[in-house]
Structure 1
Amino acid sequence: MFFTEGILSIFKLIYHSYFKQKQFNSLMSIIVIFKSTILFSFILAITKSYTLLKIAFILELFASFLSVAICLKSLKGLYNHNNQGNSEIIHKNLTAEFVFHSGIMWINNNLKSFSERNFTILFFTYLFGPLQANLFKITSDSALLLQRITVKTIGTTDTSLLFYAQTIKYDKNNFVQNTFVQNTFENLITQISRICIPLFGIITFMVFNFNYLLNNKNSSKTFFDINIFFIISIFYLFESILSPYERLLEVKRKYIILTFSYLPYVLAIFCLAFFKITAALGIISTILFIQMSRLLIYFIMLIIVRKKYNFHFPIKNVSKIIFYTFILFIFASSLKYLLL
């Protein structure tokens, strides 16, 4: 099952890189509905849990094979429709570039994993005990749910858009190319902001009105969870908004700049792991420190991209989104007081 799901994830990347998300998602939705309908029928007919478990695994495996087979059949038509021309492809050079590029991205992603839950839960269990570590896990998983909304919505579209903009035909001074890439870059940030900033408003409203929404009388017990959830969620959304800066450097293959941007973050994680400052900070301050060091990566990239390529953050477009979100936040808060 893991093997077939791995192949399916590769097909997903291919379809998304050709902006065929609707076709791929529609296909997956049909298969999921088909699989769920059959499984539900077995649940109604069979009462033995062990038998149901075997049927569920077999059905899942069959659905994975079916998805791979359909994607493989459609792949030929996808490449025929998107003719790449008659120019000769030097596969040896492409393979070397692919391995090197994938290696750099793999290292960067693994560096980020040192500040994510798989590592931090063990780290916090060792320092603060299992109770606080488990509370962190619950709130971190809740924050990840919101992050998945943005990650799954964006997919690989950001990288694909910037790559296509980068490979457009241009004049001798690269003016057309740079202008097109800059416009694509700014539009990408604007579109991501339209997803993240309203989520930011919803999270802020929920945090400030948590006791009212859940009719919770003992706020001291939930103060710890709410603070961690708010910190992680907000920083994840900020990272999503600034993620096109990393995608731009990735597309332009500026590996030295990417590596340099991660150095302060690596130093911060090193200090937390090997120096006795975490216990003095406390768990909430430590989480805030970790998230700030992650966000510092993107601010370094922002400064470098602005100076090197003269690409500006679309503050005007983002400000409009913030304004409308703020108006809705005030309106929702006013309704709360009217209902009291």
Structure 2
Amino acid sequence: MVASMPDNPAATATAAAPSARRTLQARDWAPYLFISPFFILFVCFGLFPLLFSVWLSFHTWDPSTGLAGMNWVGIENYQFVLTDDWFQKSVFNTFWIAIVSGLPQHLVAIPLAFFAHTYLAKYRNTVVGVYFLPFITSTVAIALVFNSLFSRDFGVINVTLTSIGNLSIAGFHPLAWLFPTHNIDWGQPQYTKWMISSLIFWRYVGWNTVLYLSALQTIPNDLYEAATIDGASRRQQFWYITVPLLRPMMFFAVTLTIIGNLQLFEEPFIITGGTGGIDQAGKTAAMHMYNTAFVDSDFGTASAVAWILFIIIALMTWANNKLFAQKD
């Protein structure tokens, strides 16, 4: 039998074209459909809160009154924050802790990573695990341990200092590191910042060590072999080979330290019970923002604090970028 030909081939092709066009359009939109959950979640929980906090920083608002309770005040929130003594003190505490705990992290982590890379190659994985353990430990558990260590009456630190003080003529009174006692001489504010700084240093020095150790493994061994043949000592190899080639990782690690320390919240909040310790000496800028929002219910001022803190972090990051910028 002979197959019959359609009466009008052009009409058949024209009828099939819309179907093919719809299929092509569906294929074009399919990838966007699959990745749409990310963008939906980002807009709802990322972009919208960000833009809303900018708008909120120009208002006074108590959430219990609803959105109708928002009152436009312009830049008054920013003016109040910049002249607020407690905010200035929290920024000072933040920078104090950031410098005292952040700078030694890198001064210790770089030589420590070089030592582990050079002399402990066989046990490198074990050493890395030990270094990294404080970083992944629960903040609450760390706070409990340090509260015990620095306890006024039974802490190991005070017991040790008292034992040493008893050997001298002057003697030594146990220190109240976090909370005031009936004797003001036993609870001075500067001790609180030292305690928090020691906690931050202990927890994050291992993280920076792992970063530098990973960077050291990318440096060719040929450079060290050539330096050894030329008579360079280990110290000279460290200063003239290791340190210059670690410059990109140093920039990355210091940037993370700046951002993390200026946003410091968990450790001082938990270890001081949210009060900031004696005379609020351990109260950071992030803690001040939290208390302003969720204790004082002043979300407009808290939003202003957040954006001022963002500007400070951006400026510090820019300065760090200029410091580590590669020269021609």
Same fold (TM over 0.5): no
Pairwise TM-score range, normalised by the shorter structure = under 0.3
Rg larger in structure: 2
Q: TM-score, normalised by structure 2?
A: 0.25
Q: TM-score, normalised by structure 1?
A: 0.24
User: Higher helix fraction: Structure 1 or Structure 2?
Assistant: 1
